[in-house]
Amino acid sequence: MDAFTTHRGKVALLDWSDVNTDLIIPARYLKRVERTGYGPLLFADKRYAPGGAPEPDAPEQHGPLADDFPLNRPEAEGATILVVGRNFGCGSSREHAVWAVQQAGYRALIAPIKGEGFADIFEGNAYNNGLLPIELPEADWQAIADLSRSDPDLAATIDLKAGTIHLHPSQGGAPGAIPFDVSEGDRHRLLLGLDAIGETLQHDNQITSYEQQAPAWAASPGA
């Protein structure tokens, strides 16, 4: 997967709380066997006018967009950083939800309240796929959300190594850096572009050496 170091992008706002994975990508699309093509299916039941959502085997073919869905508004076009409400990604576990967010062009999500911004499984899937989920104190999140409402061209730079967000209002007057933190393990894997399996495979030689030196009474893999 792609490493995440520093990313600058336009900010979009979807300040809905308790967005579940079936809303992010409806269950009928999970029968697809491909790992690509999920971008057009993101929020399919909200994003398109009634009856206009794509069929699972033809994600690029859809009806008209819904006028009232926030991410269909012109100010959200081209955004790569999505500000969301608390408890984003709740509900059933499905890695497809993260794939849909990523393949729609987003590199990072920003939610309010440390420990409550994202559902645990969604958050884990995000880290394992190179999507950065950031949880901020509510005051910092609210400041970004308010600025996004008033400035349709708001951009931000996320520096994972430094653990900071810098906002770039179109009219200038940027506030100072907003700090965030992620666990050291997640930060390490994202900076290197590794999921948990990839990180383990970095130690393949040591694992093999250990297994070869293990005493005869120790169970061998697969025994």
pLDDT tens per residue across span 24-70: 999 999 988 889 999 999 999 999 999 999 999 999 999 999 999 99
Contact 156, 30 (CB under 8 A): no
Do 173 and 167 meet the contact criterion of CB atoms below 8 Å apart? no
Order of strands across the sheet with 108-112?
Answer: 132-136, 108-112, 79-84, 6-14, 155-159, 164-168, 178-179
Q: Is the dihedral of CA 189, 115, 96, 62 positive or negative?
A: negative
For residue 4, the model assigns a pLDDT of 95
pLDDT in the model for residue 221: 57
Checking if the pLDDT of 140 tops 80, the result is yes
Region for residue 140 given its phi and psi (left: phi exceeds 0; alpha: psi -120 to 50; beta: otherwise): alpha
Q: List, for residues 155-194, the tens digit of each pLDDT value.
A: 999 999 999 999 999 988 888 899 999 999 999 999 999 8
Tokens for 93, please give them: 């576990």
pLDDT number for residue 66? 97
Burial of 2 (0-12, 13-18, 19+ CB in 10 A): exposed
Closest CA to 88 of 184, 148, 24, 155: 24
pLDDT category, 220, cuts 50, 70, 90?
A: low
What is the per-residue pLDDT for 196? 80
Question: Rounded distance, CA 211 to CA 2, Å?
Answer: 31
User: Given this model, what pLDDT does residue 67 score?
Assistant: 94
- Mean pLDDT, residues 113-120: 96
User: Hey, what are 206's tokens?
Assistant: 């040591």
